[in-house]
Amino acid sequence: MRLRFCKGDWIAIAAVVLFAAVLASAFALHAAAAAGVTVEVRLDGELLFSCPLEQDAVYTVQGDYTNTVTVRDGKAAVTASDCPGADCVHSGWIDAAGRAVICLPNRMELRLAGAAEDVDIIVG
C-alpha cells in the first residue's frame, strides 16, 4: 500500500510551515527589541544602579526594607522582599521597555528603560 498526498495535505503542510515561520520571526523580533533595554533601580528617586537586561545579576536594595532584584534570561523581577504584603514580588517578571515594578513601602522602583519603550498612554 502506497501513501499519496492530496491537495489538502499539501495545504495543511504549507499552513504549518508558514505558522512556524511567523512564530519564529515573532520570537526573533522580541529578542531584538530586548537588546538595548536597561534595568534601572531607584530608591527614593535616586538611581542606585543600572545594567543591560541581557546581563544576569542579583542586587540587594536596602532602604526601610530589603528588596532583592534579579535579572535573568532577559527578564527582571523583585524576587524577595521583607516589606508588608510583598506586592512587588507578586508583580512577577518584566521584559519590555517601559515596564516597572514598584515597592511602595521601600520606595523602590525597578524600571526597564530603552529606545522601544511600550507606553500605553500619556496624560497631562
- CATH code of 70's domain: 2.60.320.10
Placement of cell 523580533 in the chain: 29
What percent of the chain is modeled with pLDDT above 70? 85
The predicted-structure confidence for 9-47, as pLDDT tens digits, reads as follows: 889 999 999 999 998 887 776 665 556 789 999 999 999
- pLDDT value at residue 28: 73
**Does 25 fall in a domain?**
no
Q: Report which secondary-structure segment, H or E, holds 15.
A: helix 7-34
What is the structure's pLDDT at 92? Answer: 92
The set of cell numbers assigned to 113 is 528603560
The total number of structural domains in the chain stands at: 1
Asked whether the predicted pLDDT for residue 94 surpasses 70, the reply is yes
- Please report whether residue 89 resides in a domain: yes
pLDDT of residue 70: 95
Q: Rounded mean pLDDT of 83-94?
A: 91
The range of the structural domain enclosing residue 50 comes to: 35-113
pLDDT at 119 over 70: no
Domain assignment present for 57? yes
CA atoms within 13 A on the CB side of 65: 18
Q: Are 102 and 109 in contact (CB under 8 A)?
A: yes
Structural domain contains residue 119: no
Q: Determine the pLDDT at residue 27.
A: 75
In a domain, 3, yes or no: no
The pLDDT score that the predictor gives to residue 36 is 79
pLDDT tops 90 at residue 5: no
How far apart (Å, rounded) are the C-alpha atoms in residues 50 and 28?
25
Residues 6+ apart with CB under 8 A from 119: 98
* Residue 60 or 4, more confident: 60
Is pLDDT at 3 greater than 60 in this prediction?
yes
